[in-house]
């Protein structure tokens, strides 16, 4: 491939200097040469983990990849917006940030001179040069031997769920293939490949960039992505990419970001598939990986095996915790261990993410905690090898109640009211934050999605923390994660898994005294939150009207709590956080029930 351009130049001159007959023969020779060379391009897939905002650090990753993998590659492909990290959010609205990104592109152009014959395809924001619109494109820059050979801007800008790209970018005015080393590169960026009717009840876009590139004569489709994880998404992506390759008979290179950025987890699973849709290579999940592939190689049927969903959720959460801690400057974590399944699973995930020597488990028994709860917590900590402390809150709780006895009319309360239960939870939150402030631990909250959805949680209590690790994990999935963690040996004591869930904030308390059974609650929440169904439609599926009404009304009226919750890691199709923006001061229960 190094001498390719010289051969083409020779044949062009030959055509210009000979008769038509000889010219026709030369054209045939060129065509034959192109046919023989086509599909032999060596492409390096750079599935890497950028840090949002760290433009210089991300540029170093590009340079290091070139140094380590540039030899023998024709093209190295990096993910979407790699130089800025994804998603950069409102950093894109800062002129100095864009200037720094452009300076990084200039540096990369200079670096490319040191690697003759190697193309660099990288995601970066690019000013549009227009006075109207947002003024930025989400772009892929093809850099080669000291020049920018081409820019392909993103056409389809998603605005659903966690995406808000029209806030920052203008859509590409058009797409066209970019000739490079005998191939015609059909370059697209993430969402550009997702305009497939089967995926959408109503197509959100009228334009299909991949179809246009194929019609323009693309010989190789390349997609730069920052496609976040949710359980089961890798199968959707694989089938989508395979369908594109089969439909157009063109090999497809997909390069996806890996890493955790705030609530989003990027699983990678970059791949190369041949023109028949068969996989040539698939990168591992949740790991940085650099691999050089032959774009013309034949795929291997059966090479792709979808990952077990619970295993993938487990690995995503571990990866998300690890990256959140690392990128936020934490090396240690603290988890309140109640003796229940939520805190047990959370502690197991934290241990996998940070290492047993960097995790502290704190048991904080109240007057209503059972002895077995403390022992379960202790046994779990011993099984994990994490540090363990017992800090009783009984005296602190007594002090609160004595101080507030008259003002809160505590003697008139025949049982331990919600306000007293919440005092206990907030004492625990204070203790965990004290450990955080004193020793620099990240407090990892252990509340699950089911509780957070209906408000069965305490502001500034069990909701306190810097990261809510399982806030997008329904309670029924928490049990599945526990079984996955125990798949080889009993790490979480069996008693924790089998005991009825309880907050132990008053005598004899059980979750099911307040909540519907978790299998029913989680199914209703799935229909309401992830599928967007009304109460009427959910009732038609066989659920009791009163139960459905209770769940929906509690979801809606507890928005104020979730607005103040710690960031949570997204693992389902609809998580609380930036992907679900509901008003707090509002009345909409009545019409949502219809």
359 and 429 fall within a common domain? yes
175 and 254 fall within a common domain? yes
Q: Which of 591, 454, 594, 580 is nearest to 538 (CA)?
A: 594
E-assigned strand segments in 432-490: 441-445, 467-468
Per-residue pLDDT of 42-79, as tens digits, reads 999 999 999 999 999 999 999 999 998 877 899 999 99
* 519 three-class SS: helix
199 and 344 fall within a common domain? no
Q: Is residue 505 part of a domain?
A: yes
Residue with tokens 């990256």, as numbered in its chain: 323
12 band by pLDDT with thresholds 50, 70 and 90: very low
CA separation for the pair 83, 240 (Å, rounded): 26
370 and 385 fall within a common domain? yes
206 and 329 fall within a common domain? no
Catalytically active residues, by annotation? 80, 154, 190
Q: Which of 211, 84, 207, 229 is nearest to 156 (CA)?
A: 207
Q: What is the pLDDT of residue 590?
A: 53
Q: Which of 236, 265, 298 is the endpoint of a domain?
A: 298
Distances (CA, A) of 283 to 34, 47, 279, 280: 29, 8, 11, 10
545 and 580 fall within a common domain? yes
Q: Is residue 307 part of a domain?
A: no
Q: Is residue 304 part of a domain?
A: no
Cβ–Cβ under 8 Å, residues 78 and 255: yes
335 and 203 fall within a common domain? no
Q: Taking 90 as the threshold, does the pLDDT of residue 39 lie above it?
A: no
Q: Is residue 308 part of a domain?
A: no
Residue with tokens 């990104």, as numbered in its chain: 101
E-assigned strand segments in 341-396: 359-363, 387-390
Q: What is the pLDDT of residue 14?
A: 28
508 band by pLDDT with thresholds 50, 70 and 90: confident
Per-residue pLDDT of 407-427, as tens digits, reads 998 988 888 999 999 999 999
Q: Which helix (H) or strand (E) holds 520?
A: helix 518-525
- Domain total for the chain? 3
Q: Whole-number mean pLDDT of the chain?
A: 91
CA 461 to chain centre: 27
For 178, list phi and psi in degrees, rounded to 5.
-120, 115
Tell which wins on pLDDT, 25 or 294.
294
Q: Taking 80 as the threshold, does the pLDDT of residue 559 lie above it?
A: yes
Query: Who contacts 381 (Cβ-Cβ below 8 Å, separation ≥6)?
Result: 337, 347, 361, 387, 388
Per-residue pLDDT of 448-503, as tens digits, reads 999 999 999 999 999 999 999 999 999 999 999 999 999 999 999 999 999 988 88
Q: Is residue 533 part of a domain?
A: yes
Per-residue pLDDT of 154-199, as tens digits, reads 999 999 999 999 999 999 999 999 999 999 999 999 999 999 877 7
CA separation for the pair 263, 569 (Å, rounded): 4
Q: Is residue 388 part of a domain?
A: yes
CA separation for the pair 340, 521 (Å, rounded): 19
Distances (CA, A) of 128 to 169, 171, 192: 9, 10, 19
Q: Is residue 172 part of a domain?
A: yes
589 band by pLDDT with thresholds 50, 70 and 90: low
Domain that holds residue 53: 38-298
Say which CATH number the domain at 463 has. 3.40.50.620
Per-residue pLDDT of 253-267, as tens digits, reads 999 999 999 999 999
Q: Which helix (H) or strand (E) holds 496?
A: helix 494-498
273 and 138 fall within a common domain? yes
* pLDDT > 70: percent of the chain: 92
Tokens of 295: 């774009």
15 and 95 fall within a common domain? no
E-assigned strand segments in 154-263: 178-180, 183-189, 220-225, 252-256, 258-261
Q: Taking 80 as the threshold, does the pLDDT of residue 200 lie above it?
A: no
267 and 324 fall within a common domain? no
463 and 452 fall within a common domain? yes
CA separation for the pair 67, 237 (Å, rounded): 30
Q: What is the CA radius of gyration of the chain?
A: 28
294 and 391 fall within a common domain? no
Per-residue pLDDT of 97-115, as tens digits, reads 999 999 999 999 999 999 9
Tokens of 460: 């500034």
Q: Is residue 306 part of a domain?
A: no
Say which CATH number the domain at 252 has. 3.60.110.10
Cβ–Cβ under 8 Å, residues 152 and 164: no
Q: How many CA atoms lie within 13 A of 222 on its CB side?
A: 34
């Amino acid at each position: 491939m190094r001498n390719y351009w010289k051969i083409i130049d020779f044949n062009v001159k030959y055509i210009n200097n000979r008769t038509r007959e000889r010219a026709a023969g030369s054209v045939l020779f060129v065509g034959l040469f192109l046919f023989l060379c086509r599909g032999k391009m060596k492409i390096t897939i750079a599935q890497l983990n950028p840090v949002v905002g760290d433009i210089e650090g991300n540029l170093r990753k590009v340079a290091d990849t070139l140094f380590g993998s540039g030899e023998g590659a024709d093209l190295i492909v990096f993910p979407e917006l790699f130089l800025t990290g994804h998603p950069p959010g409102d950093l894109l609205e800062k002129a100095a940030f864009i200037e720094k990104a452009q300076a990084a592109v200039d540096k990369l152009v200079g670096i490319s001179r040191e690697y003759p014959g190697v193309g660099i395809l990288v995601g970066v924001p690019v000013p549009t040069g227009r006075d109207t619109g947002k003024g930025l494109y989400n772009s892929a820059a093809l850099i080669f031997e000291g020049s920018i050979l081409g820019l392909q801007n993103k056409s389809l800008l998603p605005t659903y769920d966690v995406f808000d790209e029209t806030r920052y970018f203008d859509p590409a005015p058009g797409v066209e293939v970019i000739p490079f080393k005998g191939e015609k590169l059909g370059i697209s960026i993430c969402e550009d490949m997702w305009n497939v009717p089967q995926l959408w009840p109503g197509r959100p876009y009228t334009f299909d960039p991949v179809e246009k590139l194929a019609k323009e004569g693309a010989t190789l489709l390349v997609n730069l992505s920052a496609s976040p994880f949710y359980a089961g998404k890798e199968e959707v992506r694989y089938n989508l990419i395979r369908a594109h390759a089969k439909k157009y008979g063109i090999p497809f290179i997909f390069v996806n970001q890996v890493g955790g950025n705030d609530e989003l987890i990027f699983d990678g699973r970059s791949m190369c598939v041949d023109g028949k849709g068969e996989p040539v290579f698939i990168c591992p999940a949740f790991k940085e990986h650099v691999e050089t592939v032959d774009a013309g190689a034949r795929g291997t049927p059966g090479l792709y095996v979808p990952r077990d969903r619970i295993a993938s959720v487990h690995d995503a959460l571990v990866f998300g915790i690890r990256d959140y801690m690392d990128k936020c400057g934490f090396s240690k974590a603290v988890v309140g261990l109640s003796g229940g399944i939520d805190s047990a699973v959370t502690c197991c995930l934290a241990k996998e993410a940070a290492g047993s020597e960097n995790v502290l488990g704190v048991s904080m028994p109240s007057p209503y905690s059972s002895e077995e709860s403390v022992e379960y917590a202790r046994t779990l900590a011993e099984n994990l090898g994490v540090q363990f402390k017992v800090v009783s809150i009984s005296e602190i709780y007594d002090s609160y109640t004595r101080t507030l006895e008259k003002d809160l009319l505590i003697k008139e309360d025949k049982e331990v009211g919600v306000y007293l239960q919440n005092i206990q939870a907030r004492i625990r939150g204070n203790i965990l934050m004290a450990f955080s402030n004193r020793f620099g631990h990240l407090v990892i909250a252990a509340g699950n999605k089911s509780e957070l959805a209906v408000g069965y949680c305490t502001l500034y209590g069990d909701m306190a923390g810097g990261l809510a690790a399982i806030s997008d994990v329904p309670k029924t999935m928490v049990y599945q994660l526990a079984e996955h963690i125990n798949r080889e040996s009993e790490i979480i004591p069996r008693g924790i898994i089998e005991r009825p869930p309880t907050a132990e904030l008053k005598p004899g308390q059980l979750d099911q005294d307040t909540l519907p059974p978790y299998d029913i609650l989680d199914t209703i929440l799935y229909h309401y939150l992830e599928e967007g169904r009304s109460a009427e439609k959910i009732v038609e599926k066989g659920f009791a009207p009163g139960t459905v009404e209770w769940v929906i009304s509690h979801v809606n009226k507890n928005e104020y709590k979730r607005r103040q919750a710690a960031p949570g890691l997204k693992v389902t199709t609809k998580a609380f956080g930036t992907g679900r923006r509901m008003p707090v001061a509002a009345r909409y229960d009545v019409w949502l029930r219809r």
